[in-house]
């Protein structure tokens, strides 16, 4: 029986074959800008770093949702692949920057890029991928035509701008060690970083390719909001309870980094007395000063005070809300098997183990 993991694998292969030529032959400079052969080692080193994250290949949820939405509206798969490739490359460069900002240890089962090359070179490699994303989108304009190609680029600008805002707020509130916050503040961050970027944005891009109207694009955002929130809560729960199917060594990264999550806000609201004081003391420490025992204690408190259960309940409620919107408002996603695969994505996002 086909699963959504099978769907992801098939789409990943198609999108990767679209991305790979841009990584294999990245320099298309005019003759007067040709690089002297004596600098070939420097050029090779640069592209070695730029290729690292794309070659590790993530789940490809975002480009898969994009392709399935386009297909469900009758748009040819082959004509959507460049847009999907740009979507995936955007994730790769954002992850490089995120890992530097969070001082992460690993990405996709290997050391984070800045752990290999240092912060400055890693940031620059992320910039290199950022430019590659726009190169794909420029080619996409030539491929799709000016009007549709420009509409795709405009959606990228909106999506990435809102994502960047969400990252700013999360970093600021973490650095300020804010505790006067609650679930709605958490969702304010998530609505940019995950709702738009991970679910609604990719699906809207697929729909724009297929000629969607404003009402259909609005409905896709309404669907993406609860499902994107569910996605992020599951991600945060996995960080606390899982090794991401063997891809992550350190449990509780969000606690090390001091990130404000739904479970942490719930714990702060419910924990009492000396335990609350200890929680505040641990969370006020920078990443390098927190011990594994302290992080394990915070997770234990989340179990004791029902914070993990609370996150699970909210995630399930949001998935059901998304399922209801899908059935009630997204009837324009008609073509099979793409529609069935999109509905399968709801369960995958809710139940995933990595």
Distance (Å, whole) CA 303 – CA 310: 10
Measured in residues, the chain has a length of 354
Under 8 Å between Cβ of 294 and 281: no
User: Would you state the pLDDT for residue 243?
Assistant: 63
Q: Per-residue confidence of the chain (354 residues) as pLDDT tens digits?
A: 899 999 999 999 999 999 999 998 877 778 888 888 898 899 999 999 999 999 999 999 999 999 999 999 999 999 999 999 999 999 999 999 999 998 888 999 899 999 999 999 999 999 999 999 999 999 999 999 999 999 999 999 999 999 999 999 999 998 898 888 899 999 999 998 899 999 999 999 999 999 999 999 999 999 999 999 999 999 999 999 876 555 555 688 899 988 889 999 999 999 999 999 999 999 999 888 999 999 999 999 999 999 999 999 999 999 999 999 999 999 999 999 999 999 999 999 999 988
User: Would you state the pLDDT for residue 248?
Assistant: 53
Taken in order of first residue, the domains within the chain and their CATH numbers are 4-351 (1.10.600.10)
User: Would you state the pLDDT for residue 246?
Assistant: 53
């Amino acid at each position: 029986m086909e699963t959504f993991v099978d769907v992801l694998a098939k789409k990943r292969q198609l999108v990767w074959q679209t991305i790979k030529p841009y990584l294999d032959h990245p320099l298309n400079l005019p003759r007067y800008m040709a690089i002297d052969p004596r600098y070939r080692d420097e050029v090779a080193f640069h592209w070695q770093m730029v290729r690292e994250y794309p070659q590790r290949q993530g789940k490809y949820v975002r480009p898969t949702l994009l392709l399935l939405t386009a297909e469900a509206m009758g748009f040819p798969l082959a004509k959507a692949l460049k847009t999907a490739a740009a979507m995936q490359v955007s994730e790769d460069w954002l992850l490089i920057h995120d890992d530097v900002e969070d001082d992460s240890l690993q990405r996709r089962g290997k050391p984070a890029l800045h752990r290999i090359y240092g912060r400055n070179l890693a940031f620059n490699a992320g910039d290199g991928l950022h430019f590659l994303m726009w190169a794909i989108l420029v080619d996409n304009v030539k491929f799709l035509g000016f009007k549709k190609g420009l509409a795709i680029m405009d959606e990228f600008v909106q999506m990435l701008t809102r994502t960047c805002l969400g990252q700013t707020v999360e970093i600021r509130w973490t650095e300020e060690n804010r505790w006067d916050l609650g679930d709605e503040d958490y969702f304010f961050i998530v609505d940019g970083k995950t709702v738009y970027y991970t679910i609604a944005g990719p699906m809207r891009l697929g729909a724009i390719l297929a000629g969607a109207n404003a009402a259909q694009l609005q409905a896709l955002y309404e669907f993406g909001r609860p499902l994107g929130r569910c996605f992020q809560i599951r991600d945060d729960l996995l960080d606390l309870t899982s090794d991401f199917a063997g891809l992550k060594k350190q449990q509780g990264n969000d606690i090390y980094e001091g990130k404000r999550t739904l479970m942490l806000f719930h714990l702060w609201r419910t924990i009492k007395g000396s335990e609350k004081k200890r929680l505040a003391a641990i969370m006020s420490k920078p990443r390098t000063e927190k011990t594994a025992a302290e992080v394990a204690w915070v997770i234990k408190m989340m179990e004791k005070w029902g914070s993990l259960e609370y996150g699970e309940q909210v995630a399930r409620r949001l998935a059901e809300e998304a399922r209801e919107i899908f059935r009630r408002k997204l009837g324009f996603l008609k073509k099979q098997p793409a529609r069935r695969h999109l509905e399968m994505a709801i369960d995958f996002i809710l139940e995933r183990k990595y």
